[in-house]
Amino acid sequence: MTHRKPRTGHGGRRAARFGMLVAACAAGFATASPAGASSLSAGNRYVGIAVDEAHANAGPGHRFDYDDEFAVHELGTRLGVGARNRAVARSAGCTLDNPCRSVALSFQVVTVTGTITRLNAANTSRAVNDHCDGCQTFAGAYQFIVSTPYSFTLSRPVRNELARLERRLGELERSREPIATVRSRADSLAAEVVNLLRGAVASAPRGEAVNPLQSFRPTVTMRRHID
């Protein structure tokens, strides 16, 4: 399941970046798959890959730019998982009289089942002011990894609540509030996502563990990087 808002512009460059990120993510699993595995794509039965990015770029010709990503990946049982989440915001060439504002926010939720032999996760953000005095630039990346020893899927009510949080994220990144307020509200939204996922795990039916010899307590881990 993936929640994403429609995209406008930057299509070719974003597709190229996405392809490069997938390739980099897959390269880390050359030794994770058993012999005979011929594909390391997102659909591979042994390895799951999730790659997401928000990218905003403001300048004199487009002084306000915003991008948000809110993706949910239910990967099921995998031996290896590669998860990449990135937010990049850049403001360049504006002046004190006509400053720019660039905001990029990326939320990535990944659920996995069973004992992961190898987890390759990265969550990064970068905000750049390039010859842009007085510009406001903010990038925030939030990654949530849910790991359970038994089969687990998000229920419809949980999916609906995630969709509601996605809409609130979109409203936030397009707001004209001070960057400090945007950061605080993004943190609050992230806390709501964590609480929602923890509640979903706690209330989900618990079947037999995928690997009874390596059973463990379910976990919800959040990684946060802001710039």
CB atoms within 10 A of CB 24: 14
**pLDDT classification of 20: cutoffs 50, 70, 90:** very low
- Nearest one of 89, 20, 85, 97 to 60, comparing CA atoms: 97
Top pLDDT among 212 and 46 is at 46
Note whether residue 41 is domain-resident.
yes
On the question of pLDDT at 18 being above 90, the answer is no
Torsion of CA 99, 53, 144, 113, to 10 degrees: 180
Note whether residue 2 is domain-resident.
no
Top pLDDT among 18 and 160 is at 160
DSSP bridge pairs for 109: 72, 144
Residue 86 confidence (pLDDT): 94
Residue 117 confidence (pLDDT): 64
Note whether residue 120 is domain-resident.
yes
Q: What is the mean pLDDT of residues 35-58?
A: 67
Note whether residue 3 is domain-resident.
no
* C-alpha triplet 75, 36, 151: angle, nearest 5°: 25
The number of angstroms, rounded, from the C-alpha of 126 to the middle of its chain's C-alpha atoms is: 14
pLDDT digits (tens, 9 = 90+) for 156-204: 999 999 999 999 999 998 899 999 999 999 999 999 999 999 999 998 8
Residue 6 confidence (pLDDT): 42
Note whether residue 64 is domain-resident.
yes
Note whether residue 168 is domain-resident.
yes
Note whether residue 1 is domain-resident.
no
pLDDT digits (tens, 9 = 90+) for 135-160: 999 999 999 999 988 888 999 999 99
**pLDDT classification of 40: cutoffs 50, 70, 90:** very low
Instruction: Identify the domain containing residue 128 by its residue range.
Output: 11-226
Note whether residue 112 is domain-resident.
yes
Structural contact between residues 109 and 141, judged by C-beta atoms closer than 8 angstroms? no
Domain tally for the chain? 1
